[in-house]
Amino acid sequence: HVSVLDLLSLLLLESSNEAAVAITKPLGENQFIKLMNTKANAVGMRNSSFADTSGVLSADISTAEDLFNLAKYLYYNRSFVLRMSIGEENRAAYGPSRFRDLQNLNSIPEVAGMVGGKVGVSSSAGDSMLGVFEVEIDGRKRPIAVIVLGADDAKRGIKTLLGYIKHNFSSE
């Protein structure tokens, strides 16, 4: 028996396509994808469409603006998902995970202030990443979403853009 929470950790940290498929089993893939598209629309992702649960098909589409809307929704309404994506989940009420020593594919070495994020790699979309950071600007920590799509090295792109933001706007 594996909990959905354990599967979600596996999905978010290691981009496990198998975990994505397992999460859909109780509802069935078609119904789950329908719910994904409905939720995407509800959070302002008007130009996004999902064709599978793991995001590997070329029919899965989104935009930087839609991913920003997703990041904003997660930050203000489902921050636990962001924390899980960087391995900082609070499992006090649920007990330890069945999975040990998961590799965090979302981490970016030498980058501070990451609240959460997700990498994605596919032949049609290239190397992409959404990262959410808290950066001090004008004496206040502010959430900053940095999105890189279709890159050769999305993490390097995130580091470059975040560096620009910190250099030009931050008091850190």
pTM to 2 decimal places: 0.91
- Residue 91 — very low, low, confident or very high, per pLDDT cuts 50/70/90? confident
Q: Is the pLDDT of residue 98 over 90?
A: no
- Residue 172 — very low, low, confident or very high, per pLDDT cuts 50/70/90? low
Give the dihedral sign, CA 157/131/63/169.
negative
Average pLDDT score over residue span 89-106: 81
Average pLDDT score over residue span 82-93: 85
Q: Is the pLDDT of residue 146 over 80?
A: yes
CA-CA distance, 36 to 66, in Å (whole number)?
14
DSSP for 110-162 reads: T---EEEEEEEEETTTEEEEEEEEEEEETTEEEEEEEEEEEES-HHHHHHHHH
pLDDT (tens digit per residue) in 9-48: 999 999 999 999 999 999 999 999 999 999 999 999 999 9
CA-CA distance, 147 to 80, in Å (whole number)?
20
